[in-house]
Chain A
Amino acid sequence: MDKRKRSKNILTVIVLLLACILLYLAQNYLNAFYIRVLNLAAIFAILGLSMNLVLGFTGMFSLGHSGFMCIGAYTAAILTMSPASKELIYYMEPIVPVLAKVEWPLFPAIIAAGVVAALFGILVGIPALRLRDDYLAIATLGFAEIIRIVVTNIVSITNGSLGLKNIPSVNSIWVYWGCAIITLLILKRVISSSWGYAFRAIRDNEIAAEAMGISIFKHKLISFTIGAFFAGIAGALMGFLITSVDPTMFKFLFTFQILLVVVLGGMGSLTGSVISALVITIMMEVLRVVEQPIDLFGLTIPGLSGMRMVIFSILLLLVILFYRQGLMGTKEFNWDWILDKLKFFKSRKRGEAA
């Protein structure tokens, strides 16, 4: 198996290099719109990955992702905005003096966004994770809604319902996909660690897992906190991508879109989430067509705004009703899988020859 391990490592390096080349090409030759779409896909990939850890690997149906994104987005935005633009934007109530002068660079702010979201993850998780299934879903949904309402009401920190504008804009594809790839690699490590085994044991049978000596609450909290951390990072990136945040952005709709990514990609498949994040983000842009008026042989069909969400709701229902495992099921797109496939073909060829 050593030989296989070496070849796997070499393959990983090759793919990472290929990814870098692709990103380099995309950054330099695609127009701004396509780059934006790709960046959005990266954000959804991070969100999908983090929700998949919680939902697909640990079996906790948490609908609180938009709340953690909200916290991450606000943290990063407040930390990176220039003092001058803060003074300009907070005209309803001045910003609290502690935050008025800070202006952090990009990466510390992103990390801080994740850390703050993770802290809230712990705070929310300690009471909420005693619940299960639909109770957990409704409680986390409630927490996300509480977070949003509190953010709307603490005007001297968040500027209330007016939201924040003039957040430093980041267009580089490296930042977004860099974060997405790092997220994927970290979560891959988490999944294959002893924590990962514990998570899956809890997902498959909580009582049995407890009987085997796995601390249910501890591992649920770990999974939930990691999920919140990456949701916070995705929120921060969202702020940098569209350069403004306001509380209405982080409604339940957002969590629904992430859920769609996870379900389509396959609950329990990290690579599935990345693939389906790409598919769904691109579909979301392509389907903009149906919301615009179409001119058909002089006959104008008025655009139906909201039609895209109808299509996505139907897509979610179709996947869950008829194709519950999603694109990848619980399989991963990894080297073992490919090498096994290759070996299978080779042996079959040999068999045919003989």
Chain B
Amino acid sequence: MSTDIFLQNIANSITLGSLYALIAIGYTMVYGILRLINFAHADLLMVASYIAFYGILVFTLPWWLAFAIAIVLTTLLGIGIEKAAYRPLRNAPRISVLISAIGVSFLLENIGIVAIGARPKSFPRPTDLVWSIHVGNISFLSLTIIIPIVTLILLLAVTLLVNKTKIGMAMRAVSRDFETSSLMAVNVNKVITATFAVGSALAAIGGLLWSMQYPQVDPLMGVFPGLKCFIAAVMGGIGNIPGAMLGGYVLGFCEVMLVGFFPGLSGYRDAFAFVILIVILLFRPGGILGENVVEKV
């Protein structure tokens, strides 16, 4: 592998890792509070991309307006999903909530297929945001720089939100203990709504960046990124925001380098993330930065 290709791979892995990190934060926040894999999180990516797609192409909105509308609507959708499909099951067995999450995810995907068609469409890249940069022999898109910066800013914002604000304190309290925090006059439902709002907004931004980087949208586009980002969240230690970020970068780096160094294994690329997941769960179930929790009677 020549230096140029190696640097190119580094650039690719930073982009991919940032995207994974951004989406993984949403997973980890929701999981931290509800102990639920929000399967629908992955499909919010798709919803946001499609709203932006139609906003730009059909309603000929400027890209920033289309993106803003996409983020707002996706956030509302995320809150709505929580209210409709997870809240009624607050005291139900965990398996029921998981099944409900899978149902919502399938519903969104199939509504996408019915309303839009299963054929992939190419996403219009706003020229203001995407241009090529040449440094020596390597060329890369401006997104390679924009995506990590956006990710870092959002990570910082979320960290501040969770650690410094009142609602953030309430989120941490609820994620520790549901009942006690409700006894301490924390409005649990409001906190959960806020968490879903933040998570869904991050998913929407992740989805928009994703479809600019890989400019193709289809109703099932969220499935694999979603699974991998969940894996990234587990790798870093679920419920842990810096951990999700770390997991995202590690996963992105490993994936790109696997294909870069062993092109013969590129067919196994999607399986690789799951192998990592299983290894992590077996040897360090708490994740890299997480703590191991022992269940008490």
Which A residues lie at the B interface, using CB under 8 A? 55, 59, 61, 127-128, 130-131, 133-135, 137-139, 141-143, 145-146, 149-150, 152-153, 207, 252, 256, 259, 263, 267, 304-307, 309-310, 312-314, 316-317, 320-321, 324
Q: Point out the residues of chain A lying under 8 angstroms from B92, CB to CB.
A: 324
- Could you tell me if B277 and A138 are in contact, using CB atoms closer than 8 angstroms? yes
Q: Are A146 and B274 in contact (CB under 8 A)?
A: yes
User: Which residues in B have their C-beta under 8 angstroms from that of A324?
Assistant: 92, 96
1/0 per residue, CB under 8 A from A, across B210-231: the answer is: 0000000000000100010011
Known contacts A256-B102, A317-B85: does B114 contact A305 (CB below 8 Å)? Answer: yes
B94 interface residue per 8 A CB criterion: yes
Main secondary structure, interface of A, reads helix
Within 8 Å CB of B88, what residues of A?
Answer: 321
> In whole Å, how far is A319's beta carbon from the nearest beta carbon of chain B?
9
User: Are A263 and B285 in contact, with the CB atoms below 8 A?
Assistant: no
Min CB–CB distance B219 → chain A (angstroms):
8
Complex contacts, A309 vs chain B, CB 8 Å: 106, 110, 113
Q: Are A306 and B118 in contact (CB under 8 A)?
A: yes
Whole-angstrom distance from the CB of A148 to the nearest CB of chain B? 9
Asked if A149 and B270 make an inter-chain contact with CB atoms under 8 angstroms apart, the answer reads: yes
A-B contact count (CB 8 A): 112
Q: A145 — which chain B residues lie within 8 A by C-beta? A: 227, 270-271, 274
**A141 to B94, alpha carbons, bound, how many Å?**
17
CB<8 Å pairs between A and B, sample of 29: A133-B94, A133-B95, A133-B98, A134-B37, A137-B37, A137-B98, A138-B234, A141-B227, A145-B270, A146-B271, A146-B275, A149-B268, A267-B95, A305-B113, A307-B110, A310-B107, A310-B111, A313-B103, A313-B106, A316-B99, A316-B103, A317-B85, A320-B89, A320-B96, A320-B103, A321-B85, A321-B88, A321-B89, A321-B100
Cβ of B297 under 8 Å from chain A: yes
Most A CB atoms within 10 A — which of B35, B277, B281? Answer: B281
Q: Are A139 and B110 in contact (CB under 8 A)?
A: no
| B129 contacts the other chain (CB 8 A) | no
In the complex, A197 Cα to B3 Cα: how many Å? 62
The residue from B106, B107, B230, B278 contacting A143, defined by CB atoms under 8 A apart: B278
User: Which residue of A134, A146, A256 contacts B36 across the interface (Cβ within 8 Å)?
Assistant: A134
Asked if A134 contacts B98 (CB within 8 A), the reply is yes
Which of B111, B230, B268 is A153 in contact with, Cβ under 8 Å? B268
CA distance A258 to B35 in the complex (A): 24
A122 to chain B, nearest CB (A): 15
Query: Please, how many angstroms separate the alpha-carbon atoms of A231 and B143 in the complex?
Result: 45
Do the beta carbons of A59 and B95 come within 8 Å of each other?
A: yes
Cβ-defined contact, A306 with B110, below 8 A = yes
CB-based nearest B residue for A310? B110
